[in-house]
């Protein structure tokens, strides 16, 4: 399990630049989909051997200036609720603003570690100007320049020093697969689990987000055995009203990081919305198995929208990772719930399959020979050998004379061929080209 660090502050103080600097330390999180800035608000970072998840609250605020005050307040309250440590970013050019003072007032009541980062300090004069931030009453501050990275080292040293120790996760001998049910509030996650377990373990009401924390249940029926984790809506504060995007994502982070397969429930009556997509990409980025369940299908007028149209729409949103099981279910009428479980179990098996190196070469090398990577600057890429890496999730390496000339479209071509020949449905795949 990782600590969660939230970056808070008003707009345009440089939170995103600082966030990008933190997560760029780990190449793994840079989106493999070129030119796609989906969900840039979440990433993993590591400093001095300590790994943590970072959430940039900035990307979730939409609206005009007068909306901002309430939004920022809510996001700070959320970060206080959910994060293990908070980095509060302010801007030396603008000095202390009323909104900064407002945020500081909320943060002073908190016992969690708070780090004050004064951004845009890139010369001695600004170093002197930063002194006024003592007036926020948050003690020592760190001066940083998000653009060139100066000062971030000292800040991170302090951050990893103050991060709380998380309880040790004891590895079981033969751990059961963990299937986590995720999705926006009121998509029917608890009803789905109750329908499976056959008892009302989880309180189901029409008020979105009545489940407090992720709850584990061992499920053992119909020949399946696994841990079922419910993250339903998880909302503690009555204050957090409508814009739940940030909330759901923040609450889902821990549960997703700690699962094998994510069962993403979407509400058929609302469609595949931005928040569902955020949660989907969160699971994809963490390389988890994914099954999408379109719940409340019994409420849809079938003549207006067929399953085929609905499914096509979802897959368009998922590009380029479209090889994901999508099932239409109803937790209320228990329609296709066992099918949903079978799909999750199959995705779990797909995720741990291992392909023998000799068979893999026999399949892939003729494909590559027939369609080699396009030549670049008159240089021809030759791929001589490939294998699956011994990692927990499917990763494949192809050894080439000029790996730097293999571009994303060719990687996607290779991935498509892999998926055509092996069942990796619901499973993100990593493909690397290395110097042989």
Rounded Cα distance, 328 and 306, in Å: 11
Residue 295 is assigned to a ligand binding site: yes
Using the structure block, give the residue that is written with the tokens 């808070």: 8
Rounded Cα distance, 43 and 26, in Å: 9
Residue 359 is assigned to a ligand binding site: no
Residue 270 is assigned to a ligand binding site: no
Total residues found in the chain within this entry: 436
Residue 122 is assigned to a ligand binding site: yes
- DSSP-derived secondary structure for 28-67: GGS-SSTT--TTTTEEEEEETTEEEEEEEGGGG--S-HHH
Residue 230 is assigned to a ligand binding site: yes
Residue 39 is assigned to a ligand binding site: no
Nearest to 224 by CA among 394, 393, 343, 336: 343
Rounded Cα distance, 153 and 137, in Å: 23
Residue 49 is assigned to a ligand binding site: no
Residue 119 is assigned to a ligand binding site: yes
As given in the structure block, the two tokens for residue 296 are 């409340």
Residue 231 is assigned to a ligand binding site: yes
Residues 85 and 5: beta-carbon distance below 8 Å: yes
Residue 243 is assigned to a ligand binding site: no
Nearest to 350 by CA among 408, 424, 402: 424
Residues 436 and 384: beta-carbon distance below 8 Å: yes
Residue 216 is assigned to a ligand binding site: no
Residue 121 is assigned to a ligand binding site: yes
Residue 59 is assigned to a ligand binding site: yes
Backbone angles phi, psi at 205, to 5 degrees: -135, 175
Residue 412 is assigned to a ligand binding site: no
Rounded Cα distance, 309 and 312, in Å: 5
Residue 241 is assigned to a ligand binding site: no
Residue 297 is assigned to a ligand binding site: yes
Residue 233 is assigned to a ligand binding site: yes
Residue 210 is assigned to a ligand binding site: no
Rounded Cα distance, 208 and 233, in Å: 6
Residues 189 and 149: beta-carbon distance below 8 Å: no
Residue 41 is assigned to a ligand binding site: no
Residue 124 is assigned to a ligand binding site: no
Residue 288 is assigned to a ligand binding site: no
Residue 304 is assigned to a ligand binding site: no
Residue 58 is assigned to a ligand binding site: yes
Rounded Cα distance, 289 and 424, in Å: 9
Residue 20 is assigned to a ligand binding site: no
Residues 142 and 116: beta-carbon distance below 8 Å: yes
Residue 339 is assigned to a ligand binding site: no
Partners of 430 in the β-ladder: 395
Close Cβ partners of 164 (under 8 Å, ≥ 6 residues apart): 3, 84, 85, 113
Output Rg (C-alpha) for the chain, integer angstroms.
24
Q: Annotated binding site, which residues?
A: 9-16, 56-60, 119-122, 183-190, 230-234, 295-298
Q: Annotated binding site for GTP, which residues?
A: 9-16, 56-60, 119-122, 183-190, 230-234, 295-298
């Amino acid at each position: 399990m990782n600590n969660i660090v939230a970056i808070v502050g008003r707009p345009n103080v440089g939170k995103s630049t600082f966030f990008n600097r933190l997560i760029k330390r780990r190449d793994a999180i840079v989106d493999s989909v070129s030119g796609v800035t989906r969900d840039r608000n979440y990433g993993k970072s590591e400093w001095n051997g300590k790994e943590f998840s970072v959430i940039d609250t900035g990307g979730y605020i939409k609206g005009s200036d007068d909306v901002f005050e309430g939004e920022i307040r809510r996001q700070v309250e959320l970060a206080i609720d959910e994060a293990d440590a908070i980095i509060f970013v302010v801007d030396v050019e603008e000095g202390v603003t009323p909104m900064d003072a407002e945020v500081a007032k909320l943060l002073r009541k908190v016992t969690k570690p708070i780090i004050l980062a004064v951004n845009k300090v890139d010369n001695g004069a600004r170093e002197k100007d930063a002194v006024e931030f003592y007036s926020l009453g948050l003690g020592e501050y760190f001066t940083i320049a998000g653009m060139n990275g100066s000062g971030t080292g000292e800040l991170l040293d302090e951050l990893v020093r103050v991060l709380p120790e998380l309880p040790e996760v004891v590895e079981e001998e033969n751990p059961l697969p963990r299937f986590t049910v995720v999705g926006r509030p009121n998509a029917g996650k608890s009803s789905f689990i109750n329908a499976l377990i056959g008892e009302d373990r989880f309180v189901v009401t029409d008020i979105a987000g009545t489940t407090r924390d992720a709850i584990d249940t061992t499920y053992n029926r119909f020949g399946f055995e696994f841990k079922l984790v419910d993250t339903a809506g998880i909302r503690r504060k009555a204050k957090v009203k409508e814009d739940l995007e940030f909330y759901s994502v923040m609450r889902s982070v821990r549960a997703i990081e700690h699962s094998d397969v994510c069962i993403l429930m979407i509400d058929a009556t609302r469609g595949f919305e931005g928040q569902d997509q955020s949660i989907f990409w969160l699971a994809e980025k963490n390389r988890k198995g994914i099954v999408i369940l379109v719940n409340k299908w019994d409420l849809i007028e079938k003549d207006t929208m067929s399953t085929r149209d609905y499914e096509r729409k979802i897959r368009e949103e998922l590009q380029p990772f479209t090889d994901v099981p999508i099932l239409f279910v109803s937790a209320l009428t228990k329609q296709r719930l066992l099918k949903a479980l079978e799909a999750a179990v199959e995705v779990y098996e797909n995720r741990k399959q291992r392909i023998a190196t000799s068979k893999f070469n026999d399949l892939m090398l003729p494909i590559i020979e027939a369609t080699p990577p396009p030549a670049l600057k008159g240089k021809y890429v030759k791929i001589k050998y490939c294998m699956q890496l011994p990692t927990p999730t499917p990763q494949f390496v192809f050894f080439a004379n000029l790996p730097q000339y293999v571009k994303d479209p060719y990687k996607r071509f290779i991935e498509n061929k892999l998926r055509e020949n092996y069942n990796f449905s619901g499973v993100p795949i990593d493909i690397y080209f290395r110097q042989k």
